Amino acid sequence: MKKIILVTLSLIMCLASTSNYAQSKRKKNKKDKSEISKPPEKKKEGKIKPYNEVITKSAISDDGLFKTHQVGESYFFEIPMEHLGKDMLLVSRISKLPTNMGDGYVNAGTKTNSRLVTWERFQNKILIKEKSYSSVANEELPISISVKSNNYEPTLFAFDISAFSKDSTAIVVDVTKFYTSDVKAISGLPSYMRSEYKVKNLDASRSFINSVKSFPENIEVVQDMTYNASAPPSFRSGESISLQMNQSMILLPEKPMQSRFSDDRVGWFTLDHVDYGSEALKSDTKTFIRKWRMEPKDPEAYARGELVEPIKPIVYYLDPATPENLRKYIKEGVELWQGPFEKAGFKNAIIAKDPPSKEEDPDFSPEDIRYSVIRYVASTTRNAMGPSVSDPRTGEIIESDIIWYHNHLRSYRNRYLIETGAANPAARTLNTPKEDIGEMMKMVIAHEVGHTLGLPHNMSASKAYDVESYRNGDFTQKNGIASTIMDYARYNYIAQPGDENIRFIRKLGAYDDYAINWGYRVIPEANTPEAELITLDGWILEKAGDPKYIFGKQRSRFDPTSQTEDIGNDAIKASTYALKNLKYVSIHLPEWTSDVTNDYDDLEELYDELFGAWRRYISHVLTNVGGVHENLINPNQSGIPFEAVPKETQKASVQWLHENAFTTPSWLVQKELLSRTDYEGYTARLGKYQSSFLNKLLSHEILERLIDHETIDANNYSALELLQDVRKGLWIEANATKNVDIYRRNLQRAYIERMAFLMTEPSDVRALARGELSVLKKIVINASYRSTDTTTKYHYKDCLERINTILDPK
């Protein structure tokens, strides 16, 4: 029995021992397997490193708003903690671009984006947050909470913190990816261009940072960006678009400038804020003007009416690349604005300087936001621009770079010859006198400076003067050709041969004094924008009714007194004088060009511009038809905002168009010019221009406007009267049994096509067009029987077939 017990105990102990050993082995094996499968611990990405490991001894550094560093192919910003949360402006401009990008309307220097941003810390990241002042409310009001919640600002980019500065007062971030990626917020290719050029993506292998420069108040980054695109604007076989972008990061003023409310009756560039703190039953849009901060050094003397220098004058530096022979005129053009600023109480408010030498200022750079520069660009572009950078919080203009393209004076020489050559012997040459070229350049610069001061185009300024005044030497020498340099009124094309002492080139005028005083005069007792309103309104009412102080919006489609390139208060009379001058020039054009140069290049170029001038003068009269005078007035002023052009003026304009646009201008298509400038396309070219006039005259827009005018007053010029007047004038040969020349045949066919187009409109216009075609059908039938000229007879039969097809498509 004992033996059995001992054997049993031994077996139990063995099984227990075996079980313990097995469990121990299983645990050990499990542990080993776990240890084998666990990967070695990796270094965490984005881990903050010691400063010296990020900004190494090989770093190329630049001190300024932020310290910037280049380490190999990487770029770092060292952002002071004190600048976190501060308002900055991120401005994107194109500095180099391919040919034909934007169909010629985009140039080097074009601003593509402007954003208010702040640098903010979130955990171990630094964010660029876009801010907006378009929607605001006083922070003390409860609604400010809702404004913030419903206008949450986007994050443009997030950066890992790479390191802290040695004294821990700044944060280092790697900005390479931000400036080499396709960040839409700072791209030079908007969505419509990406679609048009079939842009696929940014090619990282061909995109890089060109340079990074840091200045006391701004940082400038130049990027070279190349995109893969199936239909680029140029170099199509390469299927690529390369452009160079300049990105400016600008610190905005710590103390914002006091804003000034805008008023439609005085023209200014503006910005809008939507104020949700308004006591009205809706949000209140507040519009402010864009202007420089202009504060008197001696406020007490200023308040007494004395001329006082500003604390900080506006200073323009000339580009070091500016030709020496042109510098004088550029500086004079800038400082012409000292006169208007004196009217606002400031002396020496705007100054032009030569670029400083290396000895005078070794740190001078046109990219430094502290310097406004007139850049001279070696480009075939014929243009000048006056862009500026302004604070979106207040409208304060921070900096401006005027851009002058080298070939721009060529355009002015050509138009000087074409528009004034009949009355101005000095213009009858390809080698325009140096003094005249200088005067033109001075006025172009003054015009662009006006833009940088905050003034837009004022297209009503030329109507301030009577047409006959342009033939008066004393008047033109005193007043120029418009009441402001900001109108597109370049030359006196009205003065006739024999008129004496005429000024042909534009100049500053009374409106410039008025606008600068209105925008820049300090109102000492007004400490808020609202407190200025009574005074500002009073200044406008003082000048009300005087045409010299009227503002007209640019590109008005309907107001004949607010057009580009026109002068005088009567378009019919002014354009009649202008065409007399063009006829004189057309006769002498070969004498002034090809006979001198012994080639036809200049003749061809100027003949093309002659056509352009003819088209402009025709268009000035055409705008009378269906025209509306827009009077920018407030209810407390006499008059009404919109008035139809008088009926007699509209009828006279249609008759003038028949005589000068639709009757074949044989002087414009004379053999001596056509045979020397081209070998084909004569008839099509004139036909295209005449058809464009006709289509505009018989546009839905004008006809519907005339229908509206008739409902207001039955005595206004009606749509039916216009259609009847046009038909009678265009088909005069049919009633008189005359042969129809090739130009008139083209025009009459264009008329039928236009009437067919008008019959697609589901309104009274359709019925009127059908009625006029029915009348015309009878006229054409009779004319085709009476005509003895075979070509004319065939033309009428063709017209009859076209009319029948339109009236009865079956």
pLDDT in tens, 730-745: 999 998 889 999 999 9
Answer yes or no: are the C-beta atoms of 386 and 107 closer than 8 Å.
no
Cα dihedral 737, 738, 741, 747, rounded to 10, equals -50
**pLDDT over 70 (residue 16):** no
Per-residue confidence (pLDDT) for residue 100, from 0 to 100: 82
Q: Are residues 233 and 334 in the same domain?
A: no
For position 242, what pLDDT does the model report?
93
Residues 676 and 801 in one domain: yes
Same domain, 186 and 126: yes
Statement to judge: residues 545 and 675 lie in one domain? no
Give the model's pLDDT for residue 377.
Answer: 72
- Report how many domains make up the chain: 3
Let me know if residue 1 belongs to a domain: no
Domain span holding position 680? 646-807
Which residue did the predictor score with more confidence, 115 or 30? 115
Which of 391-395, 495-499, 551-555, 786-790 has maximum average pLDDT? 495-499
- What does the pLDDT read at residue 283? 59
Domain boundary residue, one of 613, 637, 664: 613
Q: What percent of the chain has pLDDT over 70?
A: 90
In a domain, 685, yes or no: yes
pLDDT score, position 410: 86
Structure tokens at 385: 């621009």
Per-residue confidence (pLDDT) for residue 28, from 0 to 100: 44
Three-state SS letters, 198-257? CEEEECHHHCEEEEEEECCCEEEEEEEEEEEECCCCCCHHHCEEEEEEEEEEEECCCCCC
* 217-221, 335-339, 515-519: range with lowest mean pLDDT: 217-221
Does residue 155 or residue 678 have the better pLDDT? Answer: 155
Task: Please indicate, yes or no, if residue 494 is contained in any of the structural domains.
Answer: yes
Asked if residue 22 is part of any domain, the answer here is no
Q: 339 and 228, same structural domain?
A: no
The radius of gyration computed from the CA coordinates of the chain, to the nearest angstrom, equals 36
pLDDT confidence of 137, banded at 50, 70, 90?
Answer: very low
Give pLDDT, residue 23. 46
pLDDT, average across residues 449-455: 95
Average pLDDT over residues 320-341: 94
- pLDDT, position 307: 97
- Whether residues 594 and 652 share a domain: the answer is no
pLDDT tier at 151, thresholds 50, 70, 90: low
pLDDT at residue 18 in the model: 43
Determine the average pLDDT of the residues in 341-350: 98
DSSP per-residue codes, 409-426 = HHHHHHHHHHHHTTT-GG
Q: 284: closest CA among 296, 275, 292, 297?
A: 275
> Cβ(383)–Cβ(404) under 8 Å?
no
| Residue 5 pLDDT exceeds 70 | no
pLDDT in tens, 501-513: 999 999 999 999 9
pLDDT band of residue 344 (cuts 50, 70, 90) is very high
How far apart are alpha carbons 8 and 19 in whole angstroms?
16
The tokens of 454 are what? 């905050």
Q: CA-to-CA distance for 452 and 399, rounded, in angstroms? A: 9
What's the CA gap between 84 and 170, in Å, rounded? 10
Same structural domain, 780 and 656: yes
pLDDT band at 108 (very low <50, low <70, confident <90, very high): confident
In a domain, residue 434? The reply is yes
Sequence length of the chain is 810
Residue 7 clears pLDDT 60, i.e. is over it: no
558-582 mean pLDDT = 96
- Would you state the structure tokens that stand for residue 10, as one six-digit string? 């031994």
Residue 361 is predicted with a pLDDT of 83
With a cut of 70, say whether residue 142 has pLDDT above it.
no
**Alpha helix (H) residue ranges in 678-761:** 682-697, 700-712, 719-730, 732-736, 742-758
Same domain, 784 and 699: yes
Pairing of strands 67-71, 74-80: antiparallel
SS (H, E, C) 661-682: HHCCCCCCCCHHHHHHHCCCCH
- What region, left, alpha or beta, does residue 2 occupy, with left being phi > 0 and alpha being psi -120 to 50 degrees? alpha
What is the reported pLDDT for 522? 97
> Do residues 484 and 512 make contact, with C-beta atoms less than 8 angstroms apart?
yes
CA distance 416 to 441: 12
Instruction: Say what the pLDDT of residue 3 is.
Output: 42
* Structure confidence at residue 34 as a pLDDT band (50, 70, 90): very low
633, 635, 697, 711: which is closest to 661 by C-alpha? 697
Pair type for strands 350-353 and 314-318: parallel
Angle (CA) 309 315 316, round 5°: 155
Query: What is the rounded CA–CA span in Å between residue 555 and residue 264?
Result: 15
Q: Pick from 221, 251, 281: which residue ends a domain?
A: 251
pLDDT of residue 131: 85
Pair 219, 339 in one domain: no
pTM listed for this prediction: 0.86
Summarised one tens digit per residue, pLDDT across range 184-239 is 889 989 899 999 999 999 999 999 999 999 999 999 999 999 999 999 998 888 89
Least confidently predicted of 73-82, 186-195, 611-620: 186-195
Cβ neighbour number for residue 47 with a 10 Å cutoff: 10
Q: What average pLDDT score do residues 795-803 get?
A: 96
What pLDDT, on a 0 to 100 scale, did the predictor assign at position 276?
Answer: 55
The answer to whether residue 347 is domain-embedded is yes
More confident residue, 700 or 361: 700
Q: What pLDDT is recorded for position 352?
A: 96
pLDDT for 776:
97
233-237, 253-257, 624-628 — which is least confidently predicted?
A: 233-237
Q: Does residue 105 have a pLDDT over 80?
A: no
795 occurs within a structural domain: yes
Same domain membership, residue 312 and residue 190: no
Mean pLDDT of 301-325: 93
Band of pLDDT at residue 541, cut at 50, 70 and 90: very high
What's the mean per-residue pLDDT of the chain? 89
DSSP secondary-structure letter at 391?
-
Same domain flag for 743 and 784: yes
- Inform me whether the pLDDT recorded for 103 exceeds 80: no
Angle CA 420–603–325, to nearest 5: 65
- 366-394 per-residue burial string, b: 16 or more CB within 10 A, e: under 16: bbbbebbbbbbbebebebbbbbbbbbbbb
Q: Give me 362's structure tokens.
A: 């070794």
Q: Which residue, among 554, 756, 579, has the nearest Cα to 657 in the 3D structure?
A: 579
pLDDT at 742: 94
pLDDT above 80 for 124: yes
**Domain-embedded: residue 38:** no
Of 251, 281, 314, the residue at which a domain comes to its end is: 251
Q: Residues 692, 772: one domain?
A: yes
